[in-house]
Structure 1
Amino acid sequence: MEQTLFPSPHALLILTIFFFFLSPSIADQACQKSCGDIPLRYPFGSGTGCGDPRFHPHITCNDHQQLTFTTHTGCYPISYIDYANQVLYITDPTMSTCSCNQPSKGFGLDWDAPFTFHGDTIFALLDCSSASPVYSPNGMFNDRNNSSRVALCDNRGLPICGFLYGCKPIVSLNIPISGCCVYTPVNFGPSFEMDLEKLKCGSYSGFYSFNGRESDADSWKYGIAIKYKFAIDNVYPSWCSSCEQSGGVCGYSGPLDSFICNCPPGFNTTTNCFFGDSFNGASKFLPNQKSWIWLAVGLIFKDLKF
């Protein structure tokens, strides 16, 4: 007579508890250590629950593994992050360069986001109308209380206009160089917005380095350099450093966005990916998922009844 194997109530309880804990751990494997070719470190994360909540949803990793910077003016690919100097570099597909001149609506930062323009960023407004307010002595930029007015154009940037207007795409349009205005918006703070429609300009160009060839606009590094800051003292959080050193990814969870350390293969802790007390300076790693699986299987088979 053929015998039938069936688990006892005790084994079923073990199995239920096992899958109860296993399922969340798999679901929590959302925090990636990179997005495409760009490494991800605090304060940035690959999605909701990863990194610092103040930087989400400003910076996210989309389904195509493209790290993206989002403001109210659009979504912009991030090309590189300089973690040592806390600078991220973005590109605007609508921006004009020496190889392509195209219309654009402009660019702006969200006033409540933890970002400012890096001092190396230079914007050049192109094809501006003679009636553009950028040529007014009083300018048109106002602070949030409308208490001051400043000029927008930097006369020291005239050589830059000359180099840009020497590029073939712009030369072919036969537009006057007088329609160019160069300025560095870093002085205007994070609330600055470049609305080309209000400025009566057709397009803009942005770059953050002459790349050692100031007179060759085709060699400049086009894009926008943006500074970020994650604390008043700007000191790297020790709790996040401990998490990353143990192989985890810093994240947050719960209604208060409390800190969590997302550990491989998906366990969340409130400290790091080490567990238990430290004996003689040695720490133990959190058991991996395979260890839990073999432990559960062993207990179930041990308890099987024939």
Structure 2
Amino acid sequence: MTFTFVLVIFLTLPFLTLTATQASLCRTSCGNIPINYPFGIDDGCGSPYYKNLLVCSSLSKLELRTPSGRYPVKSISYSDPHILVTDPFMWNCQDGDDFRATRPFSLDTSTHLSLSSQNDYLFFNCSEQNVIIEPKPVFCERFPERCDSSCDSSSYLCRHLPECALALRTSSCCSYYPKATESLRLMLKYCASYTSVYWRNTGENQPDDQVPEYGIRVDFDIPVTTRCLQCQDTSKGGGMCGFDTSTQNFLCLCDRGNVTTYCKDHSISQHRRNSVIAGTVTGVSVVGAFGVGAGIWYLKKVKAKAPVTCGVQSNENRLF
């Protein structure tokens, strides 16, 4: 009887180690910025489409990682899905007519991120021999597809630089929306610097419904699946959507472990419990491994003292 009690304890310990509050491993904020699905800042959290894109520093500063660098995140909106980032290398009002070396902002096209059409780009001191700089007709604001790709020297933003008390004195300014990273790179080859301005929705009535602010708006998609909706359903346990880091397959992260359906699916939980106890001793718990080893040693000792029955199992030598 004593042996049976000890063995059950030793076999249960590894399971308890594995199932320690998996959902709590996913941080839900970085500083004052909420981190919700589809994003995650911990491995296996959120959607695999966005893994390793957001980084939370030791100072609780959130950054977006792209091929061109890491950029501070100002905010994330999940109702109107977008991320607002800043680029410290871009021109700002404090620079005035002094231009620093900058780099073109780019996104990985294999991700579900895209540059928002609500961005405008201002270029400064461009070479007129290499860049077409001219004012655009008024109708271009309503029908931009009918206009060429010249850099607009009479744009509203150039005439009213956001947050700037004074206009540029000796430098030229024009507005151009690059269609791709390569076009942005070419523009910077012939311009001294650039900056990005996005139009923030204020919720007011027109004409004050949008105001320009410095920064880059990056739009994202929220992949919605039946599995994720079931996982998040509070009546089914209210889990968090995540994924297996080795296979990228969906997982529902629950307080008592990870399942492939939803947290209150008892059949899955029971099946997982049995498989975990049977096959996850190695590398899980030193105490658990020691306990199983001691149990095996005890089994061998008991078996050695059992009566020899030539392979016939009887009630006298049956262990379980």
Q: TM-score, normalising length from structure 1?
A: 0.66
> Which of 255, 259, 263 matches 2:254?
263
Q: Residues 90 and 30 from structure 1, CA distance in 2 versus in 1: closer, same or farther, beyond 3 angstroms?
A: same
2:163 & 2:251 partners in 1: Cα distance?
Answer: 53
Confirm or deny that 1:22 pairs with 2:16: yes
1:88 & 1:211 partners in 2: Cα distance?
Answer: 14
Q: TM-score, normalising length from structure 2?
A: 0.64
Q: Residue deviations 1:259-293, cap 9 Å, x none?
A: 111123x611112222338xxxxxxxxxxxxxxxx
C-alpha contact 1:261 1:268 (8 A) present in aligned 2: yes
2:65 & 2:33 partners in 1: Cα distance?
Answer: 17
C-alpha contact 2:162 2:214 (8 A) present in aligned 1: no
> Which of 219, 241, 245 matches 1:227?
219
Q: Residues 270 and 184 from structure 1, CA distance in 2 versus in 1: closer, same or farther, beyond 3 angstroms?
A: same
Equivalent residue for 2:4?
10
Question: Which secondary structure does the structure 1 equivalent of 2:80 belong to?
Answer: coil
Q: Residues 176 and 62 from structure 1, CA distance in 2 versus in 1: closer, same or farther, beyond 3 angstroms?
A: closer
C-alpha contact 2:159 2:167 (8 A) present in aligned 1: no
Matches of residues 89-238 of structure 1 in structure 2 within 5 Å?
89-100=84-95, 103=100, 104-133=102-131, 135=133, 151=149, 153-154=151-152, 158-164=155-161, 167=164, 171=168, 174-177=169-172, 180-185=173-178, 188=179, 194-195=184-185, 198-209=188-199, 220-231=212-223, 236-238=224-226
Question: Which secondary structure does the structure 2 equivalent of 1:129 belong to?
Answer: coil
Q: Residues 170 and 255 from structure 1, CA distance in 2 versus in 1: closer, same or farther, beyond 3 angstroms?
A: same
Runs of 4 or more above 6 Å deviation: none
C-alpha contact 1:45 1:52 (8 A) present in aligned 2: yes
- 1:42 counterpart letter in structure 2: Y
**Deviation at residue 27 of structure 1 after TM alignment:** 8.1
Equivalent residue for 2:270?
none
2:12 & 2:131 partners in 1: Cα distance?
Answer: 68
C-alpha contact 1:132 1:199 (8 A) present in aligned 2: no
2:17 & 2:105 partners in 1: Cα distance?
Answer: 43
Question: Which secondary structure does the structure 2 equivalent of 1:19 belong to?
Answer: helix
2:226 & 2:7 partners in 1: Cα distance?
Answer: 40
> Which of 42, 46, 51 matches 2:46?
51
Q: Residues 95 and 170 from structure 1, CA distance in 2 versus in 1: closer, same or farther, beyond 3 angstroms?
A: farther
C-alpha contact 1:32 1:249 (8 A) present in aligned 2: no
- Between 1:53-62 and 1:43-52, the stretch displaced more is 53-62
Q: Residues 200 and 27 from structure 1, CA distance in 2 versus in 1: closer, same or farther, beyond 3 angstroms?
A: farther
Question: Which secondary structure does the structure 2 equivalent of 1:184 belong to?
Answer: coil
Question: Which secondary structure does the structure 1 equivalent of 2:110 belong to?
Answer: coil
C-alpha contact 1:129 1:201 (8 A) present in aligned 2: yes
**Deviation at residue 252 of structure 1 after TM alignment:** 0.4
5+ long unaligned stretches in structure 2: 135-147, 203-210, 268-320
Aligned-residue CA RMSD (Å): 3.5
Q: Residue deviations 1:74-94, cap 9 Å, x none?
A: 111222222122222111122
C-alpha contact 2:127 2:191 (8 A) present in aligned 1: yes
C-alpha contact 1:35 1:65 (8 A) present in aligned 2: yes
User: In proportion to residue count, which structure has more strand?
Assistant: 1
Q: Residues 257 and 200 from structure 1, CA distance in 2 versus in 1: closer, same or farther, beyond 3 angstroms?
A: same
Equivalent residue for 2:239?
248
1:97 & 1:196 partners in 2: Cα distance?
Answer: 21
Question: Which secondary structure does the structure 1 equivalent of 2:184 belong to?
Answer: strand
- 1:20 counterpart letter in structure 2: P
Q: Residues 13 and 196 from structure 1, CA distance in 2 versus in 1: closer, same or farther, beyond 3 angstroms?
A: farther
Q: Residue deviations 1:78-114, cap 9 Å, x none?
A: 2222212222211112222334455222211122221
**Deviation at residue 197 of structure 1 after TM alignment:** 7.7
Equivalent residue for 1:283?
none
Equivalent residue for 1:36?
31
Equivalent residue for 2:301?
none
Equivalent residue for 1:3?
none
C-alpha contact 1:108 1:192 (8 A) present in aligned 2: no
Question: Which secondary structure does the structure 2 equivalent of 1:85 belong to?
Answer: coil
Q: Residues 224 and 11 from structure 1, CA distance in 2 versus in 1: closer, same or farther, beyond 3 angstroms?
A: same
C-alpha contact 2:37 2:241 (8 A) present in aligned 1: yes
